[in-house]
């Protein structure tokens, strides 16, 4: 963001503002629809009368979800997982990306190849299941944090950002006798707050929204992330083939609850970005001063 | 030079890794003994000798699969009031310790795959799809139950009593005698019904339709009187509702176009598809649907929505739908959240769906195709080393008093006894809640309420639907089974052409059925023929051919 | 920082006598040394390791992670060449016919697979064409917004659609776009424009599919670009302003070049996913009327490989996808390097 304050607001700015307004509409309205649905009565939903505001306002679904300790615990648990997972992921990503920025690192091509290869070749759930079973990690919280902690895509992004930091900084630090780790900690990291914030967001959202690993590898209900809990609810309502096969329909749960679960799972993570946004500015400032 | 070395290093490393250095998971998992059948007969008698009065002298333990539906407010499926009942009973009667292994209902196939691969599969597994079991068996993952069933017949009176040789040996291979899975009993084989709005018929002074023409006229009457029936919401009128699964949702109509003279052999050869799409005459039935669709008598948007979408149900609940074909008791299910209940809430107390039988076939009979009395398949993975104990388990839960208790629970708590002896189920929460209706997840050998007395069964069935007048249920039940035809089973062993083809062919079938219904009338023949050709070319014809050949081999001597 | 850590970080890494200047130019390190020392090969190697050993230490943990969690399970890919048996280990399974290529041949002989292949390439290509520039344009647009609060709000709202699962989005889309009862079609009808079968007609379906894909991901994808823009030196803008540069000139000469490395990296990675196939979007939005365009490889694998329990076939298809993707990645990377950009490799 530009630091210039004394800038007249020009006509072009209003066009930009208008376009952004349209964008807000297009993105916000669907969320409002889901919110409205979660606060409406079943009848209104059945009649398909809910668009942007609740019809037949009632809080039943939220009351039901919040009063059930199963969900509130799962929210807390998922938050813990997210924080721990994100920290671990950021740590791993950084120590992986940084050494690869040294062009004269011997074996750099080898490392690159090994890493990128894993982005494309993977054999699915069964071998992972077998591996985790042998490592005795099944059904333990650690299985929700470690197996997917390092994303190659994110590592490439971080490395790309590190490349942008001028080599001269590194060289002058080396001349001062600083070792690579010191250079990382005192030069690269402070200048990379935008990318660290970005990756923190990516990892956090990935962990918060993810449930397929818990689905296969964890059996204890108390370790279920919130999305998995909600997946079961939504699925038990919508499996018509069950009705055909088994001769009965799953127990009816209201449409309202379905919408409420979406709200429940989405809203907490939405607030992470605004909080992280302040880091997008700091890095630029530092960059300016250093030059 | 450096580059070449790097590349060589990479290749070497990859080869080394692929060659399986280091911790090789496979070495730690037990390699199952695929020659189990030969070994078992001797081991069998050894097990036998340890039984005294059908009770093991030394405690055995087995694991049993149980569905975990993730119900809201449900109890843990492996540890609750009912599992305790089973565990205590098994220990007391047979000295067998039972442990339940919960498997997610919605992810069942993937989880069983994982467990089988790791050698951790439960001793007793249940599934709805026989081809799945056949595939596992071909991989060597299933135990042949045949020898055990024959040898221990005298020890399993309840199992044989409930399932009889018919269900037990339903899947017996005629050449090798292997039995990969036994079939549970489908106690209630009512399948499909045609429903019509009773209140609309009254309002328009129409009699219940008894012929196809009357039904069509009724649909047109609904459409033309939308204003009268729905007032301000007239635009929402849907005379006849259907879904993408046309074979199921127009079953009665389509069945009426099948010649009554179709032989069982014909039915068998064309019977791979469970929506009967290859039966003779179906094309003309679908042509009728095409005509209705183009006249605006069928819900125009039905082709947008896929499996599990609740849009159609909501339209029914809101009162916009005049008629539809569905499961025999569809509008009456789910009590408070059901269609009938919502109709009464949202439309009025006399709004109701009633079952009718309007589609006569060429012999003037309201022919319906009913399912065989089979339901879930029970199989033993090859890691099962307690086949006798497992069979005794199946026997135990097939015993009338045990399964009766599981199905209706405690008197006064989960059910009440009516003056005439019929049973009315009560909804209950807390530790005695049933995670599945009538605990079907535990009574794996039967699907359907059986109290031991046919009259009581019929009466209790009607009482099982909370909030719905019994007369609707009785009528639906009666009409759904009237003039039913069950195609007998022809056991010819494995049909190789069918392997892995189920979901793919089903998808193709749905595709061309939907497109055939929705296209303009003059394109109907082209679309149908093209679709059918594609279906046959993609494996359908191969199945027909193999079935014909095998039928000739076994049943035409 | 604690004194101890400080001391460790301050370890002088050059103890070699007579080193004067160090210059790093690309791949080579030029060391100008005084004539007092005579550096041999072993000496150079020692100095190298003394200088860089910490880097290898840092890489140790990630490499271990990759080997354990990525490479060890990778051996399962071999089942693409074998007759799968769920109870045998990969080494015990027998080889498939035709030198192990039985399942590849089976896939390519299957009309459905070829159809899925065509659809996947077409949809991915369109996604790339329309969906790749969109977040860049949006990031530039947001960057032009001078009201900081407004900008923050817009950013937060723009990325909300990313959090909705495709099942939800598809439900909403059907509600809006249904031919007879959808809101949009009712509006079009009222305006006398006639009804459009957004989701029933194959051509319109593809357009709707791409559009919804962009809608869902554009806000999210701008995050990286905004972060990149944040790293551009603001003094450059001030200088340009003083030179009299207008809004678009600044964008073209400062912003875009500033984020060019990011754009190139993401483009290479996107091209490397050209044959990748997500499952949720086509599955949720697809229906039986448009199946000849909506069936993509992931759905084919789901139907045949997973529901049909043909594991070897599924793995063979996956392997095929991976190999093609890597080829594209390699090509894109080489191309980028030709243009003087730093590649991903």
- pLDDT tens, position by position, for chain A (291 residues)? 444 444 555 788 888 888 889 999 988 888 888 888 888 887 888 887 888 888 888 888 788 778 878 888 888 999 999 999 999 999 999 999 999 998 888 889 899 999 999 988 887 788 899 899 999 999 899 999 999 999 999 999 899 888 888 888 888 988 888 888 888 998 898 888 888 988 998 899 889 888 888 888 988 888 988 888 877 766 654 444 455 556 555 555 567 777 787 787 778 777 777 777 777 654 444 444 333
Cβ of C55 within 8 Å of Cβ of A102? The answer is yes
What's the pLDDT score for residue C26? 45
Structure tokens of B350?
A: 């006399």
CB contact under 8 A, C303 and B504: yes
Please give the residue of chain A at the shortest CA–CA distance from C71.
A118
Q: How much helix, strand and coil, in percent to the nearest 5, is found in chain B?
A: 50, 15, 35
Instruction: State whether CATH 1.10.3720.10 applies to domain C82-338.
Output: yes
Mean pLDDT of B308-320: 87
3-state secondary structure at position B26? helix
In this prediction the ipTM stands at 0.85
pLDDT classification of C166: cutoffs 50, 70, 90: confident
According to CATH, what is the number of the domain B36-188+375-403? 3.40.190.10
Q: Would the CB atoms of A233 and B335 count as touching at under 8 Å? A: no
**Any idea where the domains of chain A sit in the sequence?**
1-58, 60-290
Q: Where are the beta strands (DSSP E) in B32-110?
A: 51-52, 55-56, 60-68, 96-104
Determine contact, residues B408/B442, Cβ cutoff 8 Å: no
As given in the structure block, the two tokens for residue B248 are 């199921």
Q: Within 13 Å and on the Cβ side, how many CA atoms surround A242?
A: 21
User: Given pLDDT bands bounded at 50, 70 and 90, which one contains residue B48?
Assistant: low
State whether residue C100 sits within 8 Å of chain B by CB: no
| CA atoms of B430 and A250, how far apart (whole Å) | 18
Burial of B399 (0-12, 13-18, 19+ CB in 10 A): middle
Q: How far apart are the C-alpha atoms of B175 and B196, rounded to whole Å? A: 49
B90, pLDDT greater than 50: yes
- C271-292 pLDDT tens trace: 988 888 888 899 889 889 999 9
For residue C19, report the phi and psi dihedrals to the nearest 5 degrees.
-80, 125
8 Å CB contact of C75 and B504:
no
Subunit contact A46:B102, Cβ cutoff 8 A: no
What mean pLDDT comes out for the span B159-170?
A: 93
C200 touches chain B (CB under 8 A): yes
Interchain proximity B114–A129, CB inside 8 Å = yes
Residue B531 to residues A78, A152, B536: CA-CA distances in angstroms?
48, 44, 9
Do A102 and A161 form a contact (C-beta atoms < 8 A)?
A: no
- Of the candidates B198, B258, B208, B250, the residue with the CA atom closest to the CA atom of residue B229: B198
Q: What angle do CA B375, B379, B384 make, to 5 degrees?
A: 160
- Work out the average pLDDT over C26-30: 43
Please list every residue in chain C whose beta carbon sits closer than 8 Å to the beta carbon of residue A105: 52, 55
Residues C37-64 have pLDDT tens digits of 455 667 778 888 888 888 999 999 999 9
Record: fold of A60-290: MetI-like fold (1.10.3720)
Q: What is the token pair recorded at B126?
A: 């249940």
State the pLDDT at residue B282. 94
pLDDT at residue B25 above 70? no
Are the Cβ atoms of C55 and A48 closer than 8 angstroms? no
> Which of A17, A113, A161 is the closest to C150 by Cβ?
A17
Confidence bin at B500 (pLDDT 50/70/90): confident
B253: closest CA among B297, B309, B305, B206?
B297
Structure tokens at A71: 């969900």
The residue ranges of every structural domain in chain C are: 3-78, 82-338
> Which of C43-79 are b and which e, b meaning 16 or more Cβ less than 10 Å from the residue's Cβ?
eeeebeeebbebbeebbeebbebbbbbbbbbbbbbbb
Residue C324 has pLDDT above 80, yes or no: yes
Q: How far is CA B46 from the centre of its chain?
A: 38
> Per CATH, the architecture of B192-370 is what?
3-Layer(aba) Sandwich (3.40)
Residue C313 to residue C102: CA distance in whole angstroms: 9
Mean of the pLDDT values across residues B539-552?
93
Q: Are A99 and C59 in contact (CB under 8 A)?
A: yes
The answer on pLDDT for B505 being more than 50 is yes
When mean pLDDT is compared across A153-162, B145-154, B263-272, C145-154, the lowest value belongs to C145-154
Statement: residue B89 has pLDDT above 80: yes
State chain C's mean pLDDT as an integer.
83
Distance (Å) from the alpha carbon of C224 to chain A's nearest alpha carbon: 7
DSSP β-bridge partners for residue B51: B56
Distances (CA, A) of B127 to B115, B379, C331: 14, 8, 47
Chain C hits for A177, CB-CB cut-off 8 Å, are: 10-14
| Residue B338 CA, distance from chain mean position | 20
Contact residues, chain B, for A129 at CB < 8 Å: 114, 117-118
> Which residues of chain C neighbour B519 with C-beta distances below 8 Å?
none
Residue B551: band (very low, low, confident or very high) from pLDDT cuts 50, 70, 90: very high
Task: Please answer yes or no on whether B72 and A233 come within 8 Å at the CB atom.
Answer: yes
Q: How far apart are CA C290 and CA B509, in angstroms?
A: 14
Residue B393 has pLDDT above 80, yes or no: yes
Are the C-beta atoms of A77 and A207 separated by less than 8 Å?
no
Locate the chain B residue with the closest alpha carbon to C289: B515
Q: Determine the pLDDT at residue A280.
A: 64
Q: Does the beta-carbon distance from C172 to A30 stay under 8 Å?
A: yes
pTM equals 0.83
Identity of the residue in B307, B334, B440 whose CB atom sits nearest the CB atom of A240: B307
State how far the Cα of B229 lies from the Cα of B199, in Å rounded to an integer: 9
Q: Which residue has the tokens 């939308």?
A: B226
Q: What residues are paired with B325 via a beta bridge?
A: B194
B36-188+375-403 and B192-370 share one fold: yes
Note the pLDDT of residue C4: 43
Q: Are strands B415-417 and B423-425 parallel, antiparallel or unpaired?
A: antiparallel
In this complex, is the C-beta atom of C322 within 8 Å of any C-beta atom belonging to chain B?
A: no
Angle at the Cα of B25 (from B20 to B26), degrees rounded to 5?
A: 85
Residue A240 with chain B: CB contacts under 8 Å: 307-308
Confidence check: pLDDT of B9 > 80 = no
| pLDDT at res. B49 | 53
Torsional class of C194: left (φ above 0), alpha (ψ -120 to 50), beta (otherwise): left
Residue A235 pLDDT: 63
Task: Write out the H or E segment, with its range, that includes residue B71.
Answer: none
C1: confidence class by pLDDT, cuts 50, 70, 90: very low
Give the pLDDT score at B195: 96
The set of chains that have 3 or more CB pairs under 8 A with A is B, C
- Whether residue A60 contacts residue A45, with contact meaning beta carbons closer than 8 Å, is answered with no
Q: How many CB atoms lie within 10 A of CB A274?
A: 12
Residue with tokens 């221990």: B152
Cα nearest neighbour of A185 on chain C: C9
More confident residue, B259 or B74: B259
Q: Quick check: A272 and A197 in contact, CB under 8 A?
A: no
Contacts of A92-95 with CB under 8 Å at 24 or more apart are: A92/A149, A92/A150, A92/C61, A92/C62, A92/C65, A93/A150, A93/A151, A93/A154, A93/A155, A93/A158, A93/A199, A94/A158, A94/A184, A94/A189, A94/A196, A95/C58, A95/C59, A95/C61, A95/C62
A232 — phi, psi (to 5°)? -65, -40
Task: Determine the average pLDDT of the residues in B248-270.
Answer: 93
Kindly state whether C193 is in contact with chain B, defined as any CB-CB distance less than 8 angstroms: no
Range of weakest confidence among A213-217, B49-53, B168-172: B49-53
């Amino acid at each position: 963001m530009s630091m210039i304050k004394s800038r007249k607001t020009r006509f072009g700015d209003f066009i930009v503002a208008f376009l952004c307004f349209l964008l807000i509409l297009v993105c916000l309205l669907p969320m409002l629809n889901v919110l409205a649905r979660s606060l409406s009565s079943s009848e209104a939903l059945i009649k398909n009368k809910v668009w942007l505001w609740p019809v037949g306002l009632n809080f039943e679904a939220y009351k039901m979800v919040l009063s059930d300790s199963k969900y509130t615990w799962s929210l807390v648990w998922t938050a813990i997982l997210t924080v721990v997972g994100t920290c671990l992921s950021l740590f791993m990503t950084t120590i992986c990306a940084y050494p690869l920025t040294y062009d004269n690192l011997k074996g750099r091509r080898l490392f690159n190849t090994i890493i990128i290869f894993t982005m494309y070749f993977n054999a699915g759930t069964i071998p992972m299941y077998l591996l985790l079973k042998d490592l005795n990690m099944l059904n333990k919280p650690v299985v929700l944090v470690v197996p997917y902690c390092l994303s190659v895509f994110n590592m490439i992004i971080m490395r790309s950002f590190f490349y942008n930091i001028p080599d001269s900084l590194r060289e002058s630090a080396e001349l001062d006798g600083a070792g690579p780790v010191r250079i990382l900690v005192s030069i690269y990291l402070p200048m990379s707050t935008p990318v660290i914030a970005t990756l923190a967001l990516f990892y956090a959202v990935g962990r918060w929204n993810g449930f397929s690993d818990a689905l296969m590898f964890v059996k204890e209900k108390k370790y279920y992330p919130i999305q998995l809990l909600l997946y079961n609810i939504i699925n038990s309502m919508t499996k018509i083939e069950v009705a055909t096969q088994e001769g009965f329909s799953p127990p009816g749960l209201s449409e309202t609850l379905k919408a409420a679960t979406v709200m429940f799972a989405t809203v907490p993570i939405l607030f992470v970005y605004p909080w992280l946004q302040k880091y997008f500015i700091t890095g630029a400032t530092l960059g300016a001063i250093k030059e | 030079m450096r580059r070449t070395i790097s590349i060589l290093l990479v290749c070497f490393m990859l080869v080394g890794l692929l060659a399986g250095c280091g911790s090789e998971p496979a070495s730690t998992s037990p390699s199952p003994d695929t020659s189990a059948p030969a070994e078992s007969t001797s081991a069998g008698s050894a097990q036998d000798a340890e039984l005294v009065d059908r009770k093991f002298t030394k405690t055995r333990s087995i694991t049993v699969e149980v569905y975990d539906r993730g119900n809201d407010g449900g109890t843990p499926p492996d540890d609750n009031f009912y599992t305790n009942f089973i565990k205590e009973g098994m220990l007391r009667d047979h000295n067998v310790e039972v442990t339940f292994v919960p498997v997610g209902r919605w992810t069942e196939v993937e989880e069983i795959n994982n467990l089988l691969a790791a050698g951790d599969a439960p001793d007793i597994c249940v599934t709805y799809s026989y081809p799945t079991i056949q595939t596992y068996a071909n991989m060597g993952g299933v135990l042949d139950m045949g020898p055990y069933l024959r040898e221990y017949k005298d020890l399993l009176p309840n199992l044989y009593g409930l399932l009889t040789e018919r269900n037990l040996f339903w899947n017996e291979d005629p050449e090798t005698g292997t039995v990969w899975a036994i079939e549970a009993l489908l106690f209630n084989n009512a399948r499909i019904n045609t429903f019509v709005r009773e209140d609309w018929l009254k309002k328009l002074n129409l009699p219940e339709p008894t012929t196809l023409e009357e039904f069509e006229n009724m649909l047109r009457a609904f459409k033309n009187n939308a204003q009268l029936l729905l007032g301000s919401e007239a635009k929402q009128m849907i005379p006849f509702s259907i879904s993408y699964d046309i074979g199921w949702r127009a079953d009665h109509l389509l069945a009426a176009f099948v010649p009554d003279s179709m032989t069982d052999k014909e039915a068998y050869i064309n019977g791979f598809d469970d929506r009967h799409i290859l039966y003779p005459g179906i094309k003309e039935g679908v042509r009728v649907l095409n005509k209705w669709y183009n006249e605006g008598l069928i819900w125009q948007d039905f082709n947008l929505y896929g499996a599990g979408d609740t849009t159609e149900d909501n339209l029914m609940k809101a009162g916009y739908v005049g008629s539809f074909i569905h499961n025999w008791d569809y509008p009456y299910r789910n009590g408070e959240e059901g269609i009938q209940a919502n109709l009464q809430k949202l439309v009025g107390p006399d709004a109701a769906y009633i079952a009718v039988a309007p589609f006569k076939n060429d012999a003037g009979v309201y022919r319906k195709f009913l399912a065989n009395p089979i339901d879930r398949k029970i199989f033993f993975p090859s890691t099962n080393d307690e086949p006798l104990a497992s069979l005794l388990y199946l026997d135990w839960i097939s015993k009338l008093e045990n399964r009766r208790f599981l199905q209706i629970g405690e008197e006064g708590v989960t059910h009440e006894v009516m003056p005439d002896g019929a049973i009315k189920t009560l909804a209950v929460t807390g530790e005695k809640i049933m995670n599945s209706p009538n605990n079907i997840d535990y009574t794996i050998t039967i699907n359907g309420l059986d109290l031991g007395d046919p009259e009581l069964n019929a009466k209790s069935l009607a009482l099982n639907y909370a909030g719905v007048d019994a007369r609707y249920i009785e009528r639906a039940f009666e009409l759904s089974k009237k003039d039913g035809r069950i195609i007998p089973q022809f056991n010819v062993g494995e049909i190789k052409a069918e392997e892995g083809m189920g979901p793919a062919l089903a998808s193709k079938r749905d595709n061309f059925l939907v497109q055939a219904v929705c296209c303009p009338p003059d394109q109907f023949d082209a679309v149908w023929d093209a679709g059918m050709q594609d279906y046959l070319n993609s494996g359908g014809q191969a199945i027909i051919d193999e079935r014909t050949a095998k039928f000739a081999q076994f049943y035409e001597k | 920082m604690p004194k101890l850590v400080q001391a460790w970080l301050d370890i002088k890494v050059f103890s070699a006598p007579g080193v004067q200047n160090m210059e790093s130019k690309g791949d080579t390190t030029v060391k100008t040394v005084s004539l007092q020392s005579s550096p041999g090969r072993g000496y150079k190697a020692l100095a190298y390791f003394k200088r860089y050993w910490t880097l290898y230490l840092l890489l140790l943990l990630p490499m271990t992670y990759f080997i354990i969690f990525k490479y060890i399970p990778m051996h399962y890919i071999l089942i693409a060449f074998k007759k799968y048996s769920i109870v045998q280990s990969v080494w015990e399974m027998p080889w498939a016919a035709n030198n192990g290529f039985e399942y590849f041949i089976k896939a390519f002989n299957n009309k459905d697979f070829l159809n899925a292949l065509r659809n996947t390439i077409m949809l991915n290509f369109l996604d790339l064409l329309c969906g790749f520039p969109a977040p860049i344009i949006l990031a530039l647009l947001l960057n032009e917004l001078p009201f900081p609060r407004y900008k923050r709000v817009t950013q937060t709202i723009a990325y909300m659609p990313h959090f909705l699962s495709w099942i939800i989005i598809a439900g909403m889309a059907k509600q809006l776009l249904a031919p007879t009862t959808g809101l949009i079609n009712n509006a079009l009808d009222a305006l006398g424009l006639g009804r459009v079968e957004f989701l029933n007609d194959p051509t319109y379906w593809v357009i709707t599919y791409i559009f919804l894909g962009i809608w869902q991901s554009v806000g999210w994808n701008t995050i990286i670009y905004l972060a990149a823009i944040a790293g551009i030196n603001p003094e450059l803008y001030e200088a340009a302003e003083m030179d009299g540069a207008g809004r678009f000139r600044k964008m073209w000469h400062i912003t875009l070049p500033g984020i060019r490395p990011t754009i190139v990296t993401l483009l290479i990675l996107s091209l490397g996913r050209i044959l990748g196939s997500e499952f949720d979007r086509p599955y949720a939005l697809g229906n039986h009327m448009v199946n000849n365009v909506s069936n993509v490889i992931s759905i084919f694998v789901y139907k045949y490989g997973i529901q049909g329990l043909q594991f070897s076939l599924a793995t063979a298809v996956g392997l095929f996808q991976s190999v093609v993707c890597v080829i594209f990645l390699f090509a894109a990377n080489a191309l980028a390097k030709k243009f003087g950009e730093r590649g991903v490799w």
